[in-house]
Chains A and B, each alone.
Chain A
Amino acid sequence: GAGVSQSPSNKVTEKGKDVELRCDPISGHTALYWYRQSLGQGLEFLIYFQGNSAPDKSGLPSDRFSAERTGGSVSTLTIQRTQQEDSAVYLCASSRDRDQPQHFGDGTRLSIL
């Protein structure tokens, strides 16, 4: 079945480099979320897209983080000038609309050396 797909599954990079994480949501899902999960912690909301509306960026931790969603489908989360504290699993989820359950990908494990 076509679930939420995230790539890469693992990313190791040096401090100061930029990284791009990709999310392919379930077809037809208008809502898309990005979360961050540090080791042993719960999920931290980053950003929310709903259809063609302006995204809710209230969870982005700094201006080094940005995200786009092109054509209401694929989304890219970009982290510029990565820091060691950015190391975490980045999870993407999509849902049919705002109140419907979210379906998650398996995340991208990001390690900053």
Chain B
Amino acid sequence: DAKTTQPPSMDCAEGRAANLPCNHSTISGNEYVYWYRQIHSQGPQYIIHGLKNNETNEMASLIITEDRKSSTLILPHATLRDTAVYYCIVRVAAGNQFYFGTGTSLTVIP
């Protein structure tokens, strides 16, 4: 079953780029990688998703390796409000379930 592996925690200085890695070595060829973040007591917030190509939007950039076995979420200029748990998720096998794991707890330091 497709699953993801993320470091449990990371720190980043305010104003610097935050680079959050995710390993998804068993992802299926036609499944997307999605990134969400969750701030305490709120539902997860969608950030970005991609299939093969790198993607960028107003929140972040997503870099996907050519073999699609890993990706990196980049927050270009981290702010204190970016402190959250970041989840990289993929669909489990060919079903409807998404594997969330426990994510990376990012702390942005003033």
Spell out A's residues near B (CB within 8 Å): 4, 33, 35, 40-45, 48, 50, 56, 58-59, 91, 93, 98-99, 101-107
Q: Is the CB of B44 within 8 A of A104?
A: yes
Quote the shortest CB–CB distance from B73 to chain A (angstroms): 14
Q: How many residues of B contact A (CB 8 A)?
A: 19
Distance of A60 from chain B, by nearest CB (Å): 12
Binding site for A on B (CB under 8 A): 32, 34, 36, 41-46, 49, 87, 95-98, 100-103
Task: Provide the residues of chain A in CB contact with B100, threshold 8 Å.
Answer: 35, 42-44
Chain B residues whose C-beta falls within 8 Å of the C-beta of A33 in the assembled complex = 96, 98
A4 touches B101 (CB 8 A): no
The B interface is mostly helix, strand or loop, or mixed, namely loop
Shortest Cβ distance from B49 into A: residue? A101
Pick from B41, B43, B46, B96: contact of A105, CB under 8 Å: B43
Give CA–CA (A106, B34) in the complex, Å.
19
A48 to B95, CA, bound (A): 10
B86 to chain A, nearest CB (A): 11
10 residue pairs, one from A and one from B, having the closest CB atoms: A104-B43, A42-B100, A43-B100, A48-B96, A45-B97, A101-B46, A56-B96, A106-B43, A42-B102, A104-B44
Distance (whole angstroms) from the CB of A92 to the closest CB of chain B: 8
Docked-complex contact A42 and B43, CB < 8 angstroms:
no
By beta carbon, the residue of chain B nearest A3 is B43
A91 vs B97: C-alpha distance when bound (angstroms): 14
Instruction: Please name the residue on chain B nearest to A45 by beta carbon.
Output: B97
CB neighbours (8 Å) of A102 from chain B are 34, 44, 46, 98
Q: Taking the nearest CB of chain B, how far is it from the CB of A40, in angstroms? A: 8
Contacts of B103 in A (CB 8 A): 42
Question: Are the CB atoms of B97 and A103 closer together than 8 Å?
Answer: no
Bound-state Cα–Cα, A22 to B36, Å: 23
